[in-house]
Amino acid sequence: MQQSIPEPIFLSAPKAANLCGVSRNTICCWIRDERLPSYRTAGGKYLIRPTDLITFMKGNDMFVPPSLEEIAAEDEANQKQGTDNRETSQEPSILIVDDDPEMRRLTTRVLKPLSLPLLEAENGYEALSQLTKHTNIALVILDLIMPGQPGDEAFKEIRKHFPVLPVIVCTGQSMEEAEAVFQDPKPDLIITKPYQPNHLLGACSAYLEDLGI
């Protein structure tokens, strides 16, 4: 029987506001000012990781309620379980993360010759959810410029919870601009758009081969 993997925990803006003792508008202002990291759903709602909220509150000398500490601890335990239970015996799959549906379709066509299951996500929030639910994801193709949460922030979350998972970043920026975005850790590979289909296909094949796939 397939083991159930807990979903990552996210706080809505109203829930975060209640925990902080401020208004929802204040939370949204912190997010818009890029002071508080967040994810943005396809419907435009802001979602916040418990650990990000705690870091923000401590950095601004705010009282962190025990209930928030408990939520964060539960989330960390869920993510550890998802990491520990990654099943390499299952048929591996590739996760394509891009807010542009046309680009996701193009990438799907490019990778079709690999004959592997291809999963999709349109933002970092969905990507983390997919990675937690699908423990056989062997490679991530990640867009750099995405609304709500840019690819470099999504990459940090992926690398934090799945440190050995290969990530290929695709971007319309120049290579120099894209490389400057990342400090440490860095993605396994950066490919500029418009990319040559054989370039992406070859890179994916090489990483999968290194994994014995």
Tens digit of each residue's pLDDT (9 = 90 or more) over 18-66: 999 999 999 989 988 888 888 776 567 788 889 889 999 999 999 999 9
Q: Would strands 137-143 and 167-171 be described as parallel, antiparallel, or unpaired?
A: parallel
pLDDT tens across 66-121, in order? Answer: 999 999 888 877 666 655 555 544 678 999 999 999 999 999 999 999 999 999 99
pTM: 0.67
Separation between Cα atoms, residue 48 and residue 36, nearest integer Å: 8
Domain definitions of the chain by residue range: 11-84, 93-210
Evaluate whether the domain defined by 93-210 bears CATH number 2.40.50.140.
no
**Whether pLDDT at 10 is above 70:** yes
Give the DSSP H or E segment for 123.
Answer: none
pLDDT, residue 167, reads 94
Q: Which CATH architecture has domain 11-84?
A: Orthogonal Bundle (1.10)
- Say how far apart CA 13 and CA 211 lie, in whole Å: 40
Dihedral of alpha carbons 172, 178, 181, 184, sign: positive
Q: Give the sign of the dihedral formed by CA 137, CA 138, CA 144, CA 150.
A: positive
pLDDT by residue (tens digit) across 109-167? 999 999 999 999 998 888 988 998 888 999 999 999 887 778 888 898 898 888 889 99
Q: For 115-152, b where at least 16 C-beta lie within 10 A, e where not — what string?
A: ebebbbbbbbbbbbbbbbebbebbbbbbbbbbebbbbb
Q: What is the pLDDT of residue 85?
A: 53
The model's pLDDT over 163-212, given as tens digits with 9 standing for 90+, comes to 889 999 998 888 888 888 888 788 999 998 888 888 899 999 988 887 77
148 phi and psi, to 5 degrees? 85, -65
CA distances to 13, 19, 38 from 27, in Å: 6, 11, 10
- Residues 117 and 111: their CA atoms lie apart, in Å, by 10
By C-alpha distance, which of 191, 189, 192 is closest to 208?
189
